[in-house]
């Protein structure tokens, strides 16, 4: 079918994501180098919440495959518009309401934000049998902020134990969203706490390989403390309009 030119795929020169995405990739590489780590051990999750499907398609055209979304309805609409991008990997990173678990279990490969057993149980029960187990991280409220979701460090061992027993969930590691700090040392302190929590679970015998931590403003500190996934939105797609 001949498409009108106005609808055709934009040329590379009009890909506005390519340049910021390359800059973020270079920053990851640099931060890994400084930390004495192989940059290939840090996976970039492009956080596309509030961004249009077209922006996701542009990042995909640059080779980006992992995308993070926070709002279910918006994510489902974007996914429906992008079904032709077959090997795209969708990560759910937002707060999970228990009445939304079925759609999340059916439409994402990864979930970073499990913070209670009830939600984990529902996701397990609702994960379709023909899909691979859901890859999951437990979200930890590392600064014990009352306004934030995430399990406390005190409750983490019990939650890990419960989730590890669910056959349709594969527990991969921990995620945190620390309080914003503009100082690299304070950023590292919070990320170090999450790393230590992961190491403590590993010492108890859990096989875990994922530390999901670091965003646009603090990804270097997160990589210095062992992040294996950084979740970056603003520095790839630009400032979000208010939701
Ligand atoms: C929005 C969001 C991000 C990305 O934040 P930026 O500062 O835009 O890079 C990462 N993780 C979570 C959980 C988010 O909600």
pLDDT digits (tens, 9 = 90+) for 24-75: 999 999 999 999 999 999 999 999 999 999 999 999 999 999 999 999 999 9
Between the CA of 139 and the centroid of ligand 1 the distance, in Å, is: 14
| Region for 197 from its dihedrals, namely left if φ exceeds 0, alpha if ψ lies in -120 to 50, beta otherwise | alpha
Which ligand 1 atom is the nearest neighbour of the CA of 175?
A: 13
91 Cβ below 6 A of ligand 1: no
Q: How many CB atoms lie within 10 A of CB 137?
A: 26
> Taking 80 as the threshold, does the pLDDT of residue 162 lie above it?
yes
pLDDT at 1: 45
126 Cβ below 6 A of ligand 1: no
70 Cβ below 6 A of ligand 1: yes
Q: How many CB atoms lie within 10 A of CB 77?
A: 12
**Residue range 187-199: mean pLDDT, rounded:** 97
Going from N- to C-terminal start, the domains of the chain cover 18-237
Q: Whose CA is nearest to atom 6 of ligand 1?
A: 233
78 Cβ below 6 A of ligand 1: no
> Taking 50 as the threshold, does the pLDDT of residue 3 lie above it?
no
pLDDT at 9: 56
CA-CA distance, 65 to 39, in Å (whole number)?
16
In CATH, what number does 18-237 get?
Answer: 3.20.20.10
């Amino acid at each position: 079918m001949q498409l009108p030119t106005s609808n055709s795929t934009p040329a590379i020169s009009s890909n506005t994501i390519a340049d910021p995405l390359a800059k973020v990739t270079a920053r990851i590489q640099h931060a890994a180098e400084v930390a004495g780590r192989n940059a290939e051990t840090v996976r970039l999750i492009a956080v596309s919440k509030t961004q249009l499907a077209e922006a996701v398609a542009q990042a995909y055209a640059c080779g980006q495959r992992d995308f993070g979304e926070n709002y279910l309805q918006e994510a489902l609409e974007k996914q429906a518009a992008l079904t032709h991008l077959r090997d795209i990997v969708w990560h759910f990173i937002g707060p999970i309401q228990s009445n939304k678990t079925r759609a999340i279990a059916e439409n994402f490969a990864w979930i970073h934000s499990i913070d209670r057993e009830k939600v984990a149980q529902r996701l397990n029960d609702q994960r379709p049998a023909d899909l691979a187990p859901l890859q999951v991280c437990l979200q930890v409220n590392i600064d014990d902020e009352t306004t934030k979701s995430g399990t406390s460090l005190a409750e983490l061992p019990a939650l890990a134990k419960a989730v590890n027993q669910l056959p349709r969930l594969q527990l991969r590691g921990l995620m945190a969203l620390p309080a914003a700090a503009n100082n690299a040392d304070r950023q590292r302190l919070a990320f170090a706490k999450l790393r230590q929590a992961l190491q403590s679970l590993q010492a108890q015998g859990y096989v875990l390989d994922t530390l999901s931590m670091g965003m646009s403003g603090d990804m270097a500190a997160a990589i210095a403390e062992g992040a294996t996934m950084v979740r970056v939105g603003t520095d790839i797609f630009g400032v979000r309009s208010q939701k």
